[in-house]
Structure 1
């Protein structure tokens, strides 16, 4: 993400956001985000600590400052959108100048608590296993899962963590909004992200107009989605294929998933690996 210039107030807010959501802050992390001199970044952290002495404490080994257990939002709202905007994950249109009314419907509906997210973020950074209490449609009260997370995923309005699951003995996506508790785990023998074949394998998804459309409708859909060409091809991680297909509401079974609810279909379903679609 390109670094940006900033005002002191924005950098103070960034320090708090990093402490809340990543569990730590350092000079190098601020320099990742802001186009300022290293000396100024150090001065900002020192000033923040002087003003909020209970917010964090130094960790000499990592040359960073670790969030205190009692840390609470003082300068920011303490919501996930703050963190998204800071790291550039938010796709908001605040910077758009269209000279006419301009709005969008990209809404993040995942409820995420910084106290949980920072522990997951730390586990990914340190390649550690954690215990999570995870809720699902079959078990809405939640049950314990021992996982080793290795990546975060934004898929439409939801956020997930990609992890190896001890119970499933495989890599799975866990909805962050369904994780109600996180704690450390002594287990150390779970596979890391380097063994996640579906994560590292890249696949091509070919979307075409649904075969149930009339000739005129198909031409319209091609112009709308494909600039008039015969198909739209995306190359994504195999584990992310299902999210892309869902975002376009593309049919994988055109006999059952019919028009007009589905305007597109996957043309190369047989080329996709097992598990690439729901």
Structure 2
């Protein structure tokens, strides 16, 4: 909730049931980001009747009387010039809702709330493949499946999934590979017929706390690329008034992320092009990350050619 709410209003809001706070948050969202609110917005979203929606709006107005006013010309509530949001709306959730909608109702097509455009997903997992994997993660179970890899082709695998990962262009799962006896990345689109193994016990070495690459957090210090013609624009784009952007990533995902973000990771910032807006100030921060060689321009400080193999590519 926003820090500008006065204490009595905050106390009232905190006493409300969670389901009612969700409805009030939806009212707050509509006013804040769309500039209008109708009773049907609440009734349709939560499956309540018009009378219940009216009560929710009245409750919101009691908590924040200066936030909305009725536009009698079309019977729509609008935010006042003095509007202050009651809730802290997480940016990623807001952007997802605005670009894809809330998905009110089973089977409804997700529709954007405002005109927008975003990259088309060229690859998405089948739900029949995704579901057994997420059940295994949630319940701590192993999975049997057929898997096709670049290295060894099509074969049977048993894995213990520990986490889903979106690297910006595709989804994969981080898992313990019983065949290779180590943690690897497995791409969903290469999986066939995954089956949950209910009676297969999980060994201590297969648990998430044993995945060193997953549990190691790397701190990256990104700065405007020294060759960029307008570093002040880069600083604005990435909200870095002091010229430094601190980012923390898992070692298991570092190479994927740096490639997705197009970060020049060469020690001498030698990569050219306007697309390289940022430079990794200390490339040695990536040392030991299993997929560091995916990072643009990365040079292994030991020149180890044996470190060039990457799973799940």
- Asked if these proteins are the same fold (TM beyond 0.5), I'd say yes
CA distance in structure 2 between the aligned counterparts of 1:147 and 1:203, rounded to whole angstroms: 26
- Tell me the residue number matched to 1:81: none
Number of residue-to-residue matches in the alignment = 192
- Tell me the residue number matched to 2:165: 153
The 5-angstrom pairing of residues 92-171 of structure 1 reads 93-94=99-100, 102-139=115-152, 142-171=154-183
1:235 aligns with 2:248: yes
- Quick check: 1:199–1:237 contact (8 Å CA) kept in 2? yes
Change (3 A) 1:252 1:145: farther
Deviates more, 1:100-109 or 1:247-256: 100-109
Gap regions ≥5 residues in structure 2: 1-17, 24-44, 48-92, 103-112, 295-313
Q: Name the SS for the 1:199 alignment partner.
A: helix
Deviates more, 1:166-175 or 1:221-230: 221-230
CA distance in structure 1 between the aligned counterparts of 2:145 and 2:95, rounded to whole angstroms: 26
CA distance in structure 1 between the aligned counterparts of 2:150 and 2:269, rounded to whole angstroms: 27
Change (3 A) 1:134 1:265: farther
CA distance in structure 2 between the aligned counterparts of 1:182 and 1:175, rounded to whole angstroms: 13
Change (3 A) 1:255 1:267: closer
- Tell me the residue number matched to 1:54: none
- Quick check: 1:106–1:157 contact (8 Å CA) kept in 2? no
Gap regions ≥5 residues in structure 1: 6-33, 37-87
Flag the structure with more relative contact order, 1 or 2, with Cα contacts below 8 A and sequence separation at least 6: 1
1:91 aligns with 2:96: yes
CA distance in structure 2 between the aligned counterparts of 1:90 and 1:149, rounded to whole angstroms: 29
Greater Rg by CA: 2
> What is the TM-score of this pair, normalised by structure 2?
0.52
> What is the TM-score of this pair, normalised by structure 1?
0.58
RMSD: 3.3
Change (3 A) 1:259 1:131: same
